[in-house]
Amino acid sequence: MISEPGSQVMYVEDEERLAQLTAAYLTSHGLQVTVVRNGGEAVAEALRLRPDVILLDLMLPGIDGLEACRRLRARLDTPVIIVTAHGEESDRVVGLEGGADDYLVKPFSSRELLARIRAQARRARGQIGPSGQAIVVGALRIEPLSMQVTLEGRTLGLTTYEFALLRSLAERAGQVLTREQLMDLVKGSADEAFDRSIDVHISHLRQKLGDDPRNPRPAQDGARRRLPAGLRPLIS
Ligand code: CA
């Protein structure tokens, strides 16, 4: 992985020991870390520091992490990773809907935290795309910054290439694209080499979306998941 020296991280955390240990680890990997102790100071400090990434604890004295996240979102585009002891799916959904870009449950691995910070810092620098807006096509929701895709609320595990492909399709839902146009759109937005034809990637993507017309696959709950109508003609 490419090192991102100088990335500035603002960590909003009231647990002294966790804040110190985490800051020490991140600092030893070339990041600059500023710890903020409460949610009320988060916005003012973020405006002052202009960090590349904000780590935000959910349970904070004063205003909680979700409210702090909303206030940050109103003023800044900085990626926010929520770190919390809560592990419920509802917390995760609430966190992401509250404007967070990623979500990490305590106790988290320091390496994973570092990887996620670096990923967010890279995306914030525009290597994935300038827009952090979710792309929604029917029941399909694509979060460009966190690279999360859900279909009817269920998270899909996509490769980087499949993500880039699906995003390109979803951004142009309703248009018909040629294979060559698709390849041009996806080129450069994924690290994966072009070792297989785009047809194979599309086939995998369709399987993950549960939408192979030749071999309809019932979902776990017995209902057949279907690709949102806007995307259907594009990859048929
Ligand atoms: Ca806390």
CATH code assigned at 217: 1.10.10.10
Q: Are residues 70 and 150 part of one domain? A: no
Going from the Cα of 17 to the center of ligand 1, the distance in angstroms, rounded, reads: 11
CATH code assigned at 116: 3.40.50.2300
Going from the Cα of 7 to the center of ligand 1, the distance in angstroms, rounded, reads: 24
Which residues have a beta carbon within 5 Å of ligand 1, which is an ion?
14, 57, 59
Going from the Cα of 162 to the center of ligand 1, the distance in angstroms, rounded, reads: 36
Dump pLDDT digits (tens) for 149-205: 999 889 988 877 788 888 888 877 767 777 777 776 776 544 444 445 677 778 888
Q: Are residues 22 and 116 part of one domain? A: yes
Q: Are residues 119 and 16 part of one domain? A: yes
Within a 10 A sphere around the Cβ of 130, how many other Cβ atoms?
Answer: 10
For the full predicted model, state whether its pTM sits above 0.85.
no
Identify the domain containing residue 64 by its residue range.
Answer: 8-124
Q: Which of 124, 158, 173 is the last residue of a domain?
A: 124
Q: Which of 105, 124, 143 is the last residue of a domain?
A: 124
Please tell me the total count of domains within the chain. 2
Going from the Cα of 108 to the center of ligand 1, the distance in angstroms, rounded, reads: 14
Q: Which of 100, 124, 148 is the last residue of a domain?
A: 124
Q: Are residues 162 and 107 part of one domain? A: no
Dump pLDDT digits (tens) for 13-70: 999 999 999 999 999 999 999 999 999 999 999 999 999 999 999 889 888 888 999 8
Rounded CA-CA distance 191/168 in Å is 15
Going from the Cα of 15 to the center of ligand 1, the distance in angstroms, rounded, reads: 6
Q: Are residues 12 and 107 part of one domain? A: yes
Q: Are residues 117 and 35 part of one domain? A: yes
Going from the Cα of 58 to the center of ligand 1, the distance in angstroms, rounded, reads: 6
53 neighbors 100 (Cβ within 8 angstroms)? no
Domain contains 130: no
